[in-house]
C-alpha cells in the first residue's frame, strides 16, 4: 500500500507500507524522513518518486503468480495452467521464486495462468498430482498433465509452455513465418508436403512423443522451397544452428518397412533435438544418454554468477571450436557438450576431477574415458587422436556396469552426498544421522544388558540350589 502526502508548498513526503503478510517475498522499504538541508530539493523528490515507482513495479510483478489452494482441483480443467508445487523450507524452491515471477510476468497477457501450490498446506493437491519432490513443475492442459524436467531458466520454461500449449505439429501457412521461426527457435523440425501418408503419420507420432522437448511444424512445398533446398516431397528436415538436415530416409521411405521407418525417425528426432555443444546438467543428461552416443563433456566450474575462470573459458572455447569444425566427422557417433558443475563429472568418474577437464561417457555401457594428457595442454589434434582411439576401442576404459563397479559407485555417491550435506548444514546432518544411531545404540545396549542380567540371574539361582543341596 502506497501513501503520498503533499504539503501546501508542493514538496512530496512519501512513505510506503508493505503488508508483510501479503508481500513477504518483496524487499522491505522503511519510512524515511527528508533531510533538513534538502527541503524543497527537486532532486530529492525525484529520487523518492523513483523508489516508490520501483516498489510499485515490484508489487505488480509479484502479483502475477497465483496462490492456489485445494480449490484448484475444481478449476484445473478451466483453461491452461503452469503450476509450481513447492515447500516453504525447500532451498531449490526459494531459488526458483524470482525466475517463476518472471515467467508469470511474461505469460500475463496470454491464456496461460501461472500459479504455485504450497504442498505442506494443501496436501490433497500434491497427492492428486503425485508430487514427491520439490519443486515440481507441471503444465496442466485440461485432463492432461506434463511434468517439466528441463533447465529451470526463464527461457527454457517459456519454450516448454509455448510447445505444450499448442498442437504437436503447428501448421505454417505464411512464407515469412519461417524466418520468424528461425530467429526465435535455434532448433525445430519441419514436415514438407501434404499432411497424409505413412511419413506424415510417423512424423506426427514422433511430434506427440517429443513435444515437450522440441518444436514441430508442417508446411507446403511452395513455402519450404523459399527457405530450404527441397529436392523431394514429402520429406522431414531439422533446422539446426543456421543449417538444415534431412531425415536420411526421406527420399526412399516407401521402400522401408513401417516398423523400421518408425524406429529410425524416432531415433533421428531424439538425436537431432540437441544443439551441437549444449550446456549439460543433471536435469538433461539423462535425455542425452538416450541417444546411445559417446557423450563428450568439457568440464569447467561456474561460480554463483555463472562466471568461468579465464583459463577454463579458453579451454571450453577451444573444445567448442573443434566440435564445430569437425561436426560432420563425429556427429553420428559423439554428442558434445560442456558442464558447469564439476560434481556431475565427478559422479561419472567416481573420483575427484580437477577443472578444466575432458571426459567421455559411453552411454551404452556406462564406461568412461579420460585423456592421459594434461587438459590444459590439450590441442585440437590431441582431442582428435583421443576421440579416434575411443571409436577404435583402443583407449583405456574405466567404470562400467559390473557388480564391483556398481557397489563402488553407490558408495561414492553416498559419501559425496553425505559430505555435501555436512558442508551445507552440519547441524541438520548431525540430527538426521545422530538420532537414529543413538536410538540404535540404546536398543543394542538394552538387548546386550538383558542377556547379561538373565545370565546373572541364572547363575544366582544355580548357586542357591547348590547351597540348599549342601
Q: Is residue 372 part of a domain?
A: yes
Report how far apart, in Å, the C-alpha atoms of 33 and of each of 15, 16, 19, 243 are: 9, 12, 20, 61
The number of folded domains in the chain is 4
Q: CB-based burial of residue 35 (10 Å sphere; 0-12 exposed, 13-18 middle, 19+ buried)? A: exposed
Residue span of the structural domain in which 407 resides: 403-435
CATH code of the domain covering residue 140: 3.40.30.10
What's the grid cell of residue 409? 559407485
pLDDT of residue 292: 86
Q: pLDDT tens digit string along 375-407? A: 888 999 999 999 999 999 999 999 888 888 888
Whether residues 289 and 396 share a domain: the answer is: yes
Q: Is residue 44 part of a domain?
A: no
Whether residues 233 and 299 share a domain: the answer is: no
Whether residues 322 and 218 share a domain: the answer is: no
pLDDT of residue 2: 35
pLDDT of residue 10: 38
pTM: predicted TM-score of the whole model, two decimal places: 0.71
Q: Is residue 217 part of a domain?
A: yes
* Residues 415-427, mean pLDDT to the nearest whole number: 71
Per annotation, catalytic residue among 90, 119, 448, 449: 90
Strand order in the sheet with 66-68: 66-68, 112-118, 80-86, 136-141, 144-148
Q: pLDDT tens digit string along 212-271? A: 999 999 999 999 999 999 888 899 999 998 889 999 888 888 888 999 999 999 999 998
| CB of 188 closer than 8 Å to CB of 238 | yes
Active-site annotation holds for 119: no
pLDDT of residue 1: 32
Active-site annotation holds for 3: no
Q: pLDDT tens digit string along 305-360? A: 888 999 999 999 999 999 999 988 998 899 999 999 888 888 888 888 889 999 99
Q: Is residue 199 part of a domain?
A: yes
* β-sheet bridge partners, residue 399: 367
Domain-terminating residue out of 224, 242, 273: 273
Whether residues 254 and 319 share a domain: the answer is: no
Q: CB-based burial of residue 3 (10 Å sphere; 0-12 exposed, 13-18 middle, 19+ buried)? A: exposed
Per annotation, catalytic residue among 3, 93, 119, 449: 93
Whether residues 262 and 249 share a domain: the answer is: yes
Checking if the pLDDT of 28 tops 80, the result is no
pLDDT tier for residue 14 given thresholds of 50, 70 and 90:
very low
Q: How far is CA 373 from the centre of its chain?
A: 32
pLDDT tier for residue 47 given thresholds of 50, 70 and 90:
low
ω into 356 cis (within 30 of 0): yes
Q: pLDDT tens digit string along 128-143? A: 999 988 999 999 998 8
**pLDDT > 70 in the chain, percent:** 80
Q: pLDDT tens digit string along 275-317? A: 999 999 887 888 888 888 999 999 999 988 888 999 999 999 9
Amino acid at each position: 500500500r502506497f501513501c503520498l502526502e503533499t504539503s501546501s508548498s508542493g514538496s512530496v513526503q512519501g512513505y510506503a507500507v508493505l503488508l508483510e503478510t501479503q508481500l513477504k517475498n518483496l524487499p522491505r522499504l522503511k519510512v524515511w524522513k527528508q533531510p533538513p538541508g534538502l527541503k524543497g530539493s527537486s532532486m530529492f523528490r525525484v529520487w523518492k518518486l523513483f523508489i516508490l515507482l520501483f516498489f510499485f513495479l515490484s508489487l505488480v510483478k509479484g502479483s502475477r503468480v497465483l496462490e492456489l489452494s485445494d480449490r484448484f482441483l475444481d478449476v484445473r480443467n478451466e483453461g491452461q495452467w503452469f503450476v509450481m508445487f513447492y515447500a516453504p523450507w525447500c532451498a531449490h524452491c526459494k531459488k526458483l521464486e524470482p525466475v517463476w515471477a518472471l515467467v508469470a510476468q511474461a505469460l500475463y497477457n496470454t491464456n496461460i495462468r501461472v500459479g504455485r501450490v504450497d504442498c505442506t498446506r494443501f496436501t490433497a493437491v500434491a497427492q492428486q498430482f503425485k508430487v514427491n519432490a520439490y519443486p515440481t513443475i507441471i503444465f496442466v492442459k485440461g485432463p492432461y498433465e506434463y511434468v517439466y524436467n528441463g533447465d529451470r531458466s526463464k527461457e527454457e520454461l517459456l519454450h516448454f509452455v509455448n510447445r505444450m500449449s499448442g498442437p504437436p505439429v503447428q501448421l505454417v501457412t505464411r512464407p515469412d513465418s519461417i524466418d520468424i521461426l528461425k530467429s526465435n527457435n535455434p532448433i525445430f523440425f519441419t514436415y514438407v508436403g501434404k499432411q497424409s501418408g505413412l511419413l506424415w503419420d510417423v512424423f506426427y507420432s514422433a511430434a506427440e512423443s517429443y513435444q515437450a522437448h522440441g518444436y514441430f511444424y508442417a508446411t507446403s512445398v511452395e513455402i519450404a522451397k523459399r527457405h530450404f533446398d527441397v529436392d523431394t516431397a514429402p520429406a522431414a528436415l531439422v533446422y539446426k544452428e543456421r543449417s538444415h538436415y534431412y531425415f536420411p530416409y526421406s527420399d526412399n521411405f516407401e521402400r522401408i518397412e513401417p516398423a523400421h521407418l518408425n524406429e529410425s525417425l524416432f531415433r533421428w528426432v531424439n538425436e537431432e533435438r540437441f544443439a551441437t555443444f549444449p550446456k549439460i546438467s543433471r536435469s538433461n543428461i539423462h535425455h542425452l544418454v538416450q541417444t546411445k552416443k559417446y557423450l563428450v563433456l568439457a568440464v569447467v566450474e561456474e561460480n554463483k554468477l555463472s562466471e568461468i575462470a579465464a583459463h577454463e573459458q579458453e579451454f571450453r572455447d577451444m573444445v567448442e571450436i573443434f566440435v564445430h569444425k569437425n561436426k560432420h566427422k563425429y556427429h553420428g557417433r559423439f554428442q558434445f557438450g560442456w558442464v558447469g558443475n564439476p560434481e556431475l563429472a565427478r559422479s561419472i568418474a567416481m573420483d575427484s576431477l580437477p577443472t578444466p577437464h575432458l571426459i567421455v561417457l559411453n552411454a551404452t555401457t556406462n564406461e568412461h574415458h579420460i585423456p592421459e594428457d594434461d587438459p590444459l595442454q590439450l590441442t585440437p589434434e590431441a582431442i582428435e587422436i583421443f576421440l579416434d582411439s575411443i571409436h577404435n576401442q583402443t583407449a583405456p576404459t574405466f567404470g562400467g556396469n559390473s557388480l564391483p563397479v556398481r557397489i563402488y559407485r553407490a558408495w561414492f555417491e553416498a559419501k559425496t552426498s553425505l559430505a555435501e550435506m555436512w558442508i551445507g548444514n552440519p547441524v541438520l546432518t548431525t540430527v538426521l544421522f545422530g538420532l537414529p544411531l543413538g536410538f540404535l545404540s540404546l536398543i543394542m545396549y538394552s538387548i546386550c544388558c538383558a542377556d547379561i542380567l538373565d545370565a546373572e540371574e541364572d547363575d544366582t539361582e544355580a548357586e542357591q540350589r547348590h547351597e540348599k543341596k549342601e
